[in-house]
Amino acid sequence: MASRVPKQGPSTLAVHGGEPRAKALNAITMPIAQTSTYTFADTQELCDHFERRIEREEYGRYGNPTQRAAEQKLAALDGAEDGLLFASGMAAVTTTMFAILSRGAHVVVTDDAYRRTRQFLNQTLRRYGVEVSTVPAGDYDRLEEAVRPTTRVIFSESPTNPYNRIVDLERLVDIARRRRVKTVIDSTFATPINQRPLEFGVDLVIHSATKYLGGHNDLMAGAVLGSAALISGVRDLQGITGAVPDPLAAYLLIRGIKTLALRVARQNENAVRIADFLAGHPKVERVHYPSLPSHPEHELAKRQMSGFGGVVSFEVRGDIHSGTRLVDACRIPRIAPSLGGVESLIEQPALMSFYELTTEERLQVGIKDTLVRYSVGVEDADDLIADLGQALERV
């Protein structure tokens, strides 16, 4: 009787998951297959490939060995049957939605999903006859009421950007299954280390691999993971649209993932300490971080996640200029968009992402002028807290 292979932990999967043990040239790291096309020994091999008697690569738009290894590693980490890598997180979102939806279909999305995702759904897809309903995050009665006979997808994000709201995945999946609707969760903030939505019954998980998965602010990529049947349909469309990653980005992603569990553990620890510090500071109005009992989904996050994540959002007392003084006074984090890298980053969403809107328009989409988003890196927590302390003195 064959012995069962024990289930491996996240660090082991991050290092070894999805990679063949024997690699080209006996390399320990997955080589970069820097090629756009692949040769065939003879016509019979070509026929064997198209008739699926052998598995091999044909052309760069349809796959690459380095890309395949990255996809398999991500699938192992998220507990998925299959995965597909893209040139960016938004390429993963848009191609997946185009593959699932058609004219006359309906989508339900929560109101604090990533703004570019909501723009794509509400602006681009509407032009192609797809209807979209936006519901408040955390209102499951409204969410279920929004589902129609034509609804094909419920799309949400957990934790959300920038307020760290947590979706009750079991409740979401229950609603979707009763109404025979697919669920898609953007789990970029959580990573597979802190949360594995597929284990709760979610159909597809999307990541902006640019963030924590790459981890070093040096690549752009996106991924969608789920059942082999669903991923197959998305892969077919990707072969047409061409939103593929280049081999170097796939290689860098594999290298980044190997330290994912270590980095996320440190970022979780740092973020909890920073959130506690900010929550007790007199110049901070409110902190949006799931480890805090004041967070609306604190208990849910404790049940559903193994860590609270590396982004701390908070509101300073005063006005937009108070936030600006704080951001400019910080000496360690850099002012920049994005998140999830080893370097701490800081920004005011009102200026970085919503600069063109007025204060009133920003409030309509839930963005306060005093909101600051801090993407916590792997630096020493004491240094980050001391730096925030001196910066808050300028507010």
159 prior amide bond cis, ω within 30: yes
Q: Which of 142, 153, 157 shows the shortest CA–CA distance to 105? A: 153
Exactly one of 68, 73, 82, 114 is catalytic; name it. Answer: 114
Query: What are the C-alpha distances in Å from 129 to residues 64, 103, 125, 262?
Result: 34, 5, 7, 45
Answer yes or no: 78 catalytic: no
Answer yes or no: 211 catalytic: yes
Q: What secondary structure letter does DSSP report for 26?
A: G
Q: Which of 267, 260, 338 shows the shortest CA–CA distance to 90? A: 338
Exactly one of 73, 211, 266, 373 is catalytic; name it. Answer: 211
CA distance 157 to 164: 9
User: Please, which residues have CB within 8 angstroms of residue 215's CB and are 6 or more apart in sequence?
Assistant: 256, 257, 259, 260, 263, 340, 341, 342
CB 366 within 8 A of CB 110: no
CB 143 within 8 A of CB 269: no
Handedness of CA 240, 157, 167, 338 (dihedral sign): positive
Answer yes or no: 212 catalytic: no
Exactly one of 23, 38, 48, 61 is catalytic; name it. Answer: 61
CB 292 within 8 A of CB 246: no
Q: Find the angle CA(328)-CA(313)-CA(329) to the nearest 5 degrees.
A: 15
Find the helix packing angle between 320-329 and 381-392, rounded to 10°. 130
Answer yes or no: 7 catalytic: no
Three state DSSP letters for 53-70:
CCCCCCEHHHCCHHHHHH
Exactly one of 82, 186, 203, 369 is catalytic; name it. Answer: 186
CA distance 288 to 145: 28
CB 313 within 8 A of CB 284: no
Instruction: Give catalytic residue positions.
Output: 61, 114, 186, 211
